[in-house]
């Protein structure tokens, strides 16, 4: 199911073709830093997604350099050397020679000589394709290398005169997922779907939020997912109204709703699913009323998930259904906010729905890619149209904090429903479709406890 060296090599060629179309130059793409947690302890290393997308290489301390001139494409890896002593402590390292072979690079060198090699590679390059202010330790090496090239100016050698943000070129490639990426994202979503169902089945009043988090993690790892794609949110009762709730420490009370926003990362690809269910297995009438509104709003947004539909259509459709629901339930007072159109125009709905309806999903949970069309002179940048191969989340919600004029039966209720949606040629495929979602499905899953 994984991408092969040939796939990564094809991506590098595609990027270098774009560089050639812009007159050629040199791209410098580092992987992520290792972060010290304390003393000699590091946080778990996660490679940079751009670097990984173009290389498949997951070791730290590595930099990809692409050289693209009119008649030449060359991809070079700088990586750690083999080190028998360190490999006893930290594990296997490819070393440049094996890495070049295994990952189909034209050449590979020890990372320690990057500073010496870069000035040579940048000499007479027209454009430097590099994203500044992302990896400061590489920024300084790039700056020193540019200076070293300028120092040779009297011998007729020129430093790149233009800098282009290489990430912007890769963003557009990453936005469209190929068949292998889609298979990996389906696997990630399927594991997460099973994890959500497991958490539902294990939920009981009296348990703690972290016990449900443990069920999620168990299901992720049991299936070979490397890590959660982001900090899992297990929020019960009033905590569900905290959008980025992370502590997961509270005890679950009878009558609470449980909002779980959690997804695993499988072979570097993210899933991002939210479900909301009653801790005791049965929605109260008030909970059910709000839940059905959020569900209907997600359905409205899903109907916009097809090629040619403008990205924001889904949000507008969801907001319309949510706002109507807020008026019907008295969350919004018609006498104060006016008609449906008035309540949308004045953004009165934001009291209970204050976030967007989704985002791109891929190697990163909030994945890269422009949400708007390229800027044309004089235009405002319109939202772009959905196209096959894009993956989005659709995640409407309602969050009711206690407030004067808001019916008390809804206080401290937070509901969000989130799925991972692949745009296909004729519509969409819900990658997280196996996660129980309707009231009937959730109550049935919980009866199986």
Binding site for ligand GLY (CB under 6 A): 230, 261, 272, 359, 365, 395, 418
CB of 361 to Mn ion, least distance (A): 7
Taking the least distance from each CB to ligand GLY, the nearer of 54 and 301 is 301
359 classed as catalytic: yes
443 classed as catalytic: no
Nearest to 127 by CA among 67, 169, 73, 77: 67
244 classed as catalytic: yes
Taking the least distance from each CB to ligand GLY, the nearer of 131 and 271 is 271
Taking the least distance from each CB to ligand GLY, the nearer of 206 and 231 is 231
Q: Enter the tokens of residue 354.
A: 């204050």
102 classed as catalytic: no
316 classed as catalytic: no
Taking the least distance from each CB to ligand GLY, the nearer of 8 and 220 is 220
264 contacts 271 by C-beta, under 8 angstroms = yes
Q: Enter the tokens of residue 112.
A: 């320690």
395 classed as catalytic: yes
213 binds Mn ion (CB under 5 A): no
| Residue 167: Cβ within 10 Å count | 17
| Residue 280: Cβ within 10 Å count | 17
261 binds Mn ion (CB under 5 A): yes
CB of 204 to ligand GLY, least distance (A): 25
Pairing relationship of beta strands 264-266 and 227-228 according to DSSP bridges: antiparallel
Contact code string over 381-410 relative to Mn ion, x by CB under 5 A: ------------x-----------------
User: Which residue of this chain has its Cβ atom nearest to ligand GLY in the complex?
Assistant: 261
**What kind and span of H or E run contains 415?**
strand 413-416
128 contacts 28 by C-beta, under 8 angstroms = yes
**Rounded Cα gap, residues 275 and 262, in angstroms:** 9
**Rounded Cα gap, residues 415 and 49, in angstroms:** 31
Taking the least distance from each CB to ligand GLY, the nearer of 59 and 418 is 418
419 binds Mn ion (CB under 5 A): no
Identify the residue whose tokens are 């007072």.
333
Instruction: Please give the C-alpha separations between residue 165 and each of 4, 28, 141, in angstroms, as whole numbers.
Output: 27, 10, 17
**Rounded Cα gap, residues 375 and 383, in angstroms:** 11
213 classed as catalytic: no
199 contacts 17 by C-beta, under 8 angstroms = no
Taking the least distance from each CB to ligand GLY, the nearer of 26 and 216 is 216
CB of 396 to ligand GLY, least distance (A): 11
**Rounded Cα gap, residues 51 and 291, in angstroms:** 41
Partner in contact with 318, chosen from Mn ion, ligand GLY, none, beta carbon below 5 to 8 Å by kind:
none
CB of 220 to ligand GLY, least distance (A): 14
Choose the catalytic residue: 48, 135, 219, 395.
Answer: 395
Choose the catalytic residue: 245, 269, 353, 399.
Answer: 399
Choose the catalytic residue: 86, 150, 222, 366.
Answer: 366
Q: Enter the tokens of residue 52.
A: 């990984």
CB of 246 to ligand GLY, least distance (A): 11
7 classed as catalytic: no
Choose the catalytic residue: 209, 272, 367, 419.
Answer: 272
Indicate the Cα dihedral angle 192, 196, 198, 204, nearest 10°.
Answer: 160
179-202 and 209-222 helices, crossing angle to 10°: 140
384 classed as catalytic: no
Partner in contact with 230, chosen from ligand GLY, Mn ion, none, beta carbon below 5 to 8 Å by kind:
ligand GLY
CB of 301 to Mn ion, least distance (A): 13
CB of 278 to ligand GLY, least distance (A): 21
Q: What are the residues facing 293 on neighbouring strands?
A: none
The residues annotated as belonging to the active site are 40, 244, 261, 272, 355, 359, 366, 395, 399, 416, 418
Residues that bind Mn ion (CB under 5 A): 261, 272, 393, 418
């Amino acid at each position: 199911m994984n991408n092969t060296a040939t796939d990564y090599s094809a991506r590098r060629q595609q990027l270098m073709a774009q560089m050639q179309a812009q007159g050629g130059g040199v791209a410098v793409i580092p992987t992520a830093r290792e972060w010290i947690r304390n003393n000699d302890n590091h946080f778990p290393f996660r490679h940079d997604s751009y670097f990984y997308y173009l290389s498949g290489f997951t070791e730290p301390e590595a930099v990809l350099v692409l050289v693209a001139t009119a008649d030449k494409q060359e991809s070079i890896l700088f990586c750690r050397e083999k080190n028998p002593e360190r490999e006893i402590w930290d594990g296997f390292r490819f070393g440049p020679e094996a890495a070049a072979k295994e990952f189909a690079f034209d050449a590979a060198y020890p990372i320690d000589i990057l500073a010496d090699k870069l000035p040579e590679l940048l000499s007479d390059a027209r454009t430097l394709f590099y994203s500044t202010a992302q990896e400061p330790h590489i920024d300084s090496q790039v700056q020193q290398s540019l200076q070293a090239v300028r120092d040779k100016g009297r011998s007729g050698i020129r430093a790149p005169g233009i800098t282009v943000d290489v990430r912007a070129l890769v963003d557009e490639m990453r936005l469209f997922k190929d068949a292998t990426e889609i298979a990996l994202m389906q696997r990630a979503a399927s594991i997460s779907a099973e994890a959500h169902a497991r958490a539902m089945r294990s939920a009981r009043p009296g348990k703690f939020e972290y016990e449900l988090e443990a069920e999620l993690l168990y299901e992720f790892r049991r299936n070979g997912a490397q890590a959660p794609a982001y900090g899992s949110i297990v929020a019960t009762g009033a905590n569900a109204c905290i959008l980025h709730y992370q502590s997961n420490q509270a005890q679950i009370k009878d009558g609470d709703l449980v909002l779980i926003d959690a997804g695993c990362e499988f072979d570097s690809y993210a899933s991002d699913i939210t479900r909301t269910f009653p801790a005791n297995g049965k929605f109260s009438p008030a909970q059910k009323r709000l839940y059905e509104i959020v569900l209907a709003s997600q359905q409205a947004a899903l109907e916009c998930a097809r090629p040619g539909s403008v990205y924001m259509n889904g949000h507008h459709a969801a907001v319309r259904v949510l706002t109507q629901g807020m008026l019907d339930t008295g969350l919004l007072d018609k006498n104060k906010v006016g008609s449906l159109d008035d309540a949308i125009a004045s953004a009165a709905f934001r009291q209970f729905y204050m976030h967007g309806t989704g985002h791109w999903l891929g190697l990163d949970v909030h994945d890269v890619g422009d949400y708007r069309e390229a800027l044309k002179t004089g235009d405002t940048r319109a939202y772009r149209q959905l196209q096959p191969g894009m993956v989005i989340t659709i995640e409407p919600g309602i969050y009711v904090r206690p407030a004067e004029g808001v019916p008390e039966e809804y206080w401290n209720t937070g509901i969000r429903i989130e799925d991972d949606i692949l745009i296909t040629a004729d519509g969409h495929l819900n990658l997280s479709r196996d996660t129980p979602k309707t009231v009937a499905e959730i109550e049935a899953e919980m009866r199986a406890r």
